[in-house]
């Protein structure tokens, strides 16, 4: 007796499938495909992400054990690991990248008024990269070091809702600062980054947009003080200065004035020096903005722990990128569901519940609001608090 839709089907109902079909058509994803379409591939891979499947054989065994439910999950073809492996190898990964970006646009609108710790009207982004180590013999295309391969996830995170707005997947050798050339810069927004992105020519181009940046200075930084401003030393601030760069190449690359703020963090007992092109915000707000950059580190830690992006179902570049982009889309999809259904539990808890109830027939809102998740919440590590309601 059919007592309702499967939980997995209810999750998929939040996907804009008309947009997905446009993405498929854009790259001719279903050209000469009679069985196992791009949608079948996406649903299989999304199921693997939601239920923590370890391998293609694991996906095949799990879905075949529920063969009579596949049609109700939206899958129109029989699932086999060879067919899924071939699809991951050959279907253009850009289909899933474009679709993930369409979900990101939806999520950003939903989280546009979300607080992030600093009272600021402008959009604030945190820029960083994380490295995923790979086996050199299996992934020879992912250049990194002589003894191992790796891919890098360069991510621009919108701190309102912790939504990744830009992701670039490269081999491990690409220097972080080169991603500046690919960034979609938004006028008036703040870009928070560590000192690995300290390239004055690129920062000057960003400031001409005009956009604002907050970063840290390096130990060999050279600058000449023009003005000093009064600060409240009881807050940890040491100085707030307007400076000009004095290094030969740096002064040519960035001829304009910069703001230099020195701050002592009592929690870590470290003294930090910030550089920014914003002269309007209070100096303590600049220090607080940089502290929010840590959220992108937590984002990387969270997705590595809760999504399948550290071990891969295929070894080709296309298969790896396909898996990462589908993982990102699943993360954003769960964030959309959380907001649209006004779910109070964290994303971590939602994923734990969905992972064991994919084949159940129960209203999704009831499942995510009435489930006793106290035991799950007690196991959440500190880094997961970032995603709590």
Flag whether 326 is in a domain.
yes
pLDDT for res 378: 45
Strand partners, 260: 241, 275
* Whether the Cβ atoms of residue 289 and residue 299 lie closer than 8 Å to each other: no
Task: Answer whether residue 181 is part of any domain.
Answer: no
Residue 166 placed within a domain: no
Q: How confident is the model at residue 369 (pLDDT cuts 50, 70, 90)?
A: confident
The domain total for the chain is: 2
In this model, does residue 379 exceed pLDDT 60? Answer: no
Residue 137 lies in a domain: no
Specify whether 269 is located in the same domain as 344.
Answer: no
Domain holding 208, by residue range, is 195-281
Where a domain ends, among 254, 281, 308?
281
Average pLDDT over residues 337-359: 93
Cis peptide before 353 (omega within 30 of 0): no
Q: Is residue 349 part of a domain?
A: yes
pLDDT digits (tens, 9 = 90+) for 11-30: 999 999 999 999 999 999 99
pLDDT-based confidence at residue 377 (cuts at 50, 70, 90) = very low
Q: Identify whether 156 is part of a domain.
A: no
Q: CB atoms < 10 A from the CB of 79, how many?
A: 22
DSSP 132: E
Q: Does 300 have pLDDT greater than 60?
A: yes
**Given this model, what pLDDT does residue 34 score?**
86
Q: Are residues 199 and 250 in the same domain?
A: yes
Lowest mean pLDDT among 112-116, 242-246, 282-286: 112-116
Confidence of residue 134 (pLDDT cuts 50, 70, 90): very high
Q: Quick one: average pLDDT of 172-185?
A: 92
Would you say 367 and 360 are in contact if contact means Cβ atoms under 8 Å apart? yes
Token pair in block for residue 229: 């401003």
């Amino acid at each position: 007796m059919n007592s309702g839709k499967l939980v997995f089907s209810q999750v998929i109902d939040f996907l804009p499938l008309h947009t997905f079909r446009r993405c498929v058509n854009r790259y001719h994803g279903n050209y000469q495909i009679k069985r196992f379409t791009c949608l079948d591939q996406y649903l299989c891979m999304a199921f693997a992400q939601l239920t923590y499947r370890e391998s293609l054989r694991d996906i095949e065994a799990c879905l075949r054990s529920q063969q009579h439910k596949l049609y109700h999950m939206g899958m129109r073809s029989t699932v086999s690991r060879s067919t899924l492996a071939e699809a991951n190898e050959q279907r253009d990964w850009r289909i899933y990248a474009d679709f993930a970006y369409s979900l990101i646009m939806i999520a950003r609108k939903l989280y546009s008024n979300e607080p992030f710790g600093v009272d600021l009207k402008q959009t604030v982004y945190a820029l960083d990269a994380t490295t995923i180590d790979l086996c050199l013999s299996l992934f020879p295309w992912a250049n990194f070091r002589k003894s191992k391969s790796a891919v890098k996830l360069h991510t621009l995170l919108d701190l309102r809702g912790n939504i990744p707005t830009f992701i670039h997947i490269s081999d491990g050798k690409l220097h972080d600062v080169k991603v500046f050339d690919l960034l979609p810069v938004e006028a008036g927004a703040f870009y928070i980054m560590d000192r690995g992105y300290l390239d004055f020519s690129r920062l000057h181009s960003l400031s001409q947009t005009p956009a604002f940046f907050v970063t840290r200075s390096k130990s060999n930084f050279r600058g000449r003080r023009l003005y000093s401003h009064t600060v409240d030393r009881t807050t940890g601030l040491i100085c707030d200065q307007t400076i000009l760069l004095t290094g030969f190449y740096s002064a040519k690359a960035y001829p304009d004035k910069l703001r230099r703020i020195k701050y002592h963090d009592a929690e870590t007992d470290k003294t930090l020096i910030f550089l920014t092109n914003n002269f309007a915000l209070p100096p303590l707000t600049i220090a607080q903005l940089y502290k929010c950059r840590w959220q992108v580190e937590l984002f990387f830690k969270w997705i590595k722990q809760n999504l399948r992006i550290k071990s891969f179902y295929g070894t080709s570049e296309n298969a790896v990128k396909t898996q990462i982009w589908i993982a990102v889309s699943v993360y954003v999809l769960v964030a959309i569901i959380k907001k649209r259904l006004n779910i109070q539990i964290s994303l971590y808890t939602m994923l734990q519940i969905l992972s064991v109830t994919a084949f159940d027939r129960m209203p999704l809102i009831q499942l995510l609001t009435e489930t006793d998740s106290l035991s799950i919440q007690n196991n959440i590590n500190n880094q997961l608090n970032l995603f709590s309601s």
